Structure 1
């Protein structure tokens, strides 16, 4: 644990594995025992506003975070990493440094917030894309301390009037975000960890293919389809990148899921990235019977769907490993 925080927001990331993925709704309910102000952040995180809970329980956010972590581990076997800060933005940033079983808190007071942000790269600021970060770095504004000290007119000239004002506020620790209570979306997820930090894009794609095949088979087995697909990449330094894409139509078709997963992965442009694990989460689940399927005249797609049906019947009879794509059998 590092420092104390005078705010009341936690960013809780549950370190879920496929074995414990089904416990996510219960974990969200656990957070709801402390406060109704819980915002689910698929695939595996939540923001928790504890301002009212502090007064009710008479404990600091860091103390409440420790209690949440202990209960999640004891009741569901799930470890979590937690960041604590005055608001959602700073809590998210603190969580980047939080190892499993650790609460990382933004130090108390304006000076503590300023010191916490000063040396951090601009790319760590939530909402800053790669293009904006690259532009700022080209002008020597490579840390949040430098961005916060830069004239407002300079930032507005570089990134725009409104964006420049927001960027300056965030770099100075002004956190105007709020926790918006919602319900955890119904979802199903798979994770593919690597035995060691993996650099090979071929192995990354192979893991995505395996995950998409499993997701599709599980949803078809339960007569469900999903509306969106989320890809989470975990790196060697415990940081993550998450991308979500809405599918053209609700589906449980493994080929469609694989194609979408590949496109999200390729869009990240990972060059020599040391990847520790890849996970896919199908969200917005609904009964397959309520989903409309767009008719197609593509014989290859129809053939793939027929093969999929046959493979599902074989797996149901002989086990999940009875039929796998050729790439995975190699």
Structure 2
């Protein structure tokens, strides 16, 4: 079998020894702890877009490469060494790295490269959980008799990706998904890092608290104000000591991670819980009509993705980034789940109209749209008079035209001179 060998045991004390503890004794609940051996791999392609460009154009190898124009979509490690990051403004990136080669994105090439890499993943183990088009978790715990130790499997995986796809990839190996992901990040670029069970806390505790899932700028600032900059310092505070700083939920989550506790299995066949798209607008002022036109384009794109995946959504989320780099979201939950473009667009337009005074005051540099509360289209309850979902609709006709002649074959009049923007490749749903 290729499943994880998780088991239920009493919760562990900070030192790692299993113990029921007072809370566990009162409630009778037990905690799922991780497997005994490091057999979860986190495989992450290095600077994916930029690496594909360097692979396909030998003249770019060893040179700083920036993918994207107005906004940096990806940067090679040569450019990152000069301070270039995503999603940095393109002009700022060129000031930091004036000799960088800027190339336009080729989303179809990245999608093909991702497909080839995932074929290598699935040739390695049937238990693959894709996270994005350039990274995945792999469970190799059941492969020892036929493929060797996890570290040998990881070495073979890296060689196969390099030889078959021509791309560098970093791999972390650990007992848990969290530690495996941290290990792959530490191993970059083009490296491998094994975190043995007996060395987990020695590996984890010296790292910055930003390595913990859930620690963003706001949480990091709260921790820094208390002198907590390293994961080991956070662990020393204990869950109780973190509650006044972070609140009970975050304290429980981050303390568990700081002690290398993460019971999640590598799961296959999971469907995404949301889909989204966004468009960078630059820093010049935009008229409301132009912003609304971009919103129309995002809605068309997401509606097609919904229908292609056989999904419907209940909630529409408008995402905005302002000139001061702050971000705001607004959401609306519809009475019924839908994949109808115009229904989604009506909800999005209401959100945009409500946010327009804020946009005019603060300046908009990015607009995004996300659809959440997804469900299978064939699971939607019919409404009276219990008529089946219509198939000969405008949406279906436009979808068919775009499949046959390309996504740009039909577009809204407001987008003819502006274009629909980039469509980032996604993992199959």
State the TM bucket, normalised to the shorter chain.
Answer: 0.5 to 0.7
Instruction: Give, in whole Å, the separation in 2 of the partners of 1:64 and 1:261.
Output: 51
Equivalent residue, structure 2, for 1:158: 245
Matched, 1:256 2:344: yes
Instruction: Give, in whole Å, the separation in 1 of the partners of 2:136 and 2:154.
Output: 16
From 109, 121, 134, the equivalent of 1:31 is: 121
Q: CA deviation at 1:48?
A: 1.4
Equivalent residue, structure 2, for 1:102: 190
Unaligned runs of 5+ in 2: 1-36, 50-106, 320-328, 356-361, 385-392, 419-429
Instruction: Give, in whole Å, the separation in 2 of the partners of 1:83 and 1:167.
Output: 20
CA contact (8 A) 1:185 1:283 kept: no
CA contact (8 A) 1:11 1:95 kept: yes
Equivalent residue, structure 1, for 2:74: none
Question: Larger deviation: 53-62 or 106-115?
Answer: 106-115
CA contact (8 A) 1:8 1:54 kept: no
CA contact (8 A) 1:10 1:82 kept: yes
Q: CA deviation at 1:35?
A: 3.1
Equivalent residue, structure 1, for 2:414: 326
Instruction: Give, in whole Å, the separation in 1 of the partners of 2:404 and 2:138.
Output: 45
Equivalent residue, structure 2, for 1:49: 139
Q: CA deviation at 1:94?
A: 3.2
Question: Larger deviation: 6-15 or 309-318?
Answer: 309-318
Q: 1:108 to 1:183 in 2, by over 3 A?
A: same
Q: How does 1:284-295 map to 2 (within 5 A)?
A: none
Matched, 1:125 2:212: yes
RMSD: 5.7
Equivalent residue, structure 1, for 2:179: 90
Aligned residue pairs total 287
From 73, 90, 99, the equivalent of 2:165 is: 73
Q: 1:290 to 1:138 in 2, by over 3 A?
A: same
Q: 1:257 to 1:63 in 2, by over 3 A?
A: farther
Q: 1:37 to 1:119 in 2, by over 3 A?
A: same
CA contact (8 A) 1:225 1:285 kept: yes
Computing the radius of gyration over CA atoms, which structure comes out larger, 1 or 2? 2
Q: How does 1:128-207 map to 2 (within 5 A)?
A: 128=215, 132-150=219-237, 153-159=240-246, 164=251, 166-172=253-259, 174-185=260-271
CA contact (8 A) 1:208 1:258 kept: no
Instruction: Give, in whole Å, the separation in 2 of the partners of 1:201 and 1:98.
Output: 42
Instruction: Give, in whole Å, the separation in 1 of the partners of 2:314 and 2:250.
Output: 29
Residue deviations 1:51-99, cap 9 Å, x none? 332453124153144145347727xxx8755443332111222344565
CA contact (8 A) 1:38 1:179 kept: no
Q: CA deviation at 1:189?
A: 8.1
SS of the aligned residue for 2:303 comes to helix
Q: 1:256 to 1:26 in 2, by over 3 A?
A: farther
Q: 1:317 to 1:127 in 2, by over 3 A?
A: closer
Instruction: Give, in whole Å, the separation in 1 of the partners of 2:154 and 2:118.
Output: 18
SS of the aligned residue for 1:52 comes to coil
